[in-house]
Amino acid sequence: MRASLLVVAKAPVPGAAKTRLTPPATPGQAAEIAAAALLDTLDAVLRTPGVRPVVALAGDLSAACRRAELRAALRRCLVLPQRGADFAERLANAHADTARRHGLPVLQIGMDTPQVTPELLDSSVGALAEHDAVLGPAEDGGWWALGLRDATRARALRDVPMSRNDTGVRTASALRDKGIGMLPTLSDVDTIDDALAVAGNLPGTRFAEAVREAAR
C-alpha cells in the first residue's frame, strides 16, 4: 500500500450540512446534496489503487440522508471519529489517527469536491513519492487536498485560520516546505452557484441529480 486516503466528512443531516446552500435549497435538499457529494467521493476513493480508505466522520449518521447507502460504503473504509475543539485541530488529529493506524503517508480530502476521480487521486498519491507534502488549491483560496509523508506535520494546521481566502497560502507557509508539490486546482462546493457549476461537469452522478432536484 502506498498511502492512506483520508476523507474528512460530516454526516449529511438536514439543518446541519451544507447550510450555505440554503436558500435557495431547503435544509433537506442541502443535506441530499451533501450526501450525494460524499457518496460520489467515496466511490472515487474506493476505486483508487494502492490506498487504504479512511473516513474521519463527525455528526449523527443515523439522522443523515441516504444513511443506508452511506453505511454500505463506509463498511469498506476504516471509520474514525473526529476529535478536537475546532476544524483545524480535527484535521490535525485525523492525520495523526490515520497514520497511527496504518503507518503510511496520508492524503486527505474533504467531501466538497465530488468531481475527484480515481485517476486524480492516484496521481495525487503518486506525488507524495516525490514530495514530502502536496497541496491541492481550491478556487476560493482554500485547499481541497493535503498530503503528508509525515502526518505529525499536520499539527501546523492548528495555527492556520480555516475557511478564508488565504487559507491555502497560509497552509503552504505553515508547512515550511518550499518544495511542496502543488496538485491541480479544483472548485469546492460551498454555495449553490458552486454546486451548479460543478454539477454541470458531472452528468449522471448522484451529485448532479441532487443539485438538479434542488434547482427545480
> What CA–CA distance (Å, rounded) separates 55 from 58?
10
> 161 pLDDT band (50/70/90 cuts)?
confident
Do residues 168 and 138 make contact, with C-beta atoms less than 8 angstroms apart?
A: yes
Q: What is the pLDDT of residues 122-156, one digit of tens each?
A: 999 999 999 999 999 999 999 999 999 999 999 98
Please say if the pLDDT value at position 35 is more than 70. Answer: yes
Supply the pTM of this predicted model: 0.95
Task: Take residue 169 and report the three cell numbers written for it.
Answer: 497560502
Instruction: List, edge to edge, every strand of the sheet that includes 3-10.
Output: 78-81, 51-58, 3-10, 106-109, 143-148, 133-137, 181-182
Distance of CA 24 to the CA centre of its chain: 24
Rounded average pLDDT over 27-48: 98
Q: How confident is the model at residue 114, as a pLDDT?
A: 97
pLDDT of 5 higher than 90: yes
Length of the chain: 216
For residue 38, count other CB atoms closer than 10 A to its CB: 31
Helix spans in 14-86 (H): 27-46, 67-74
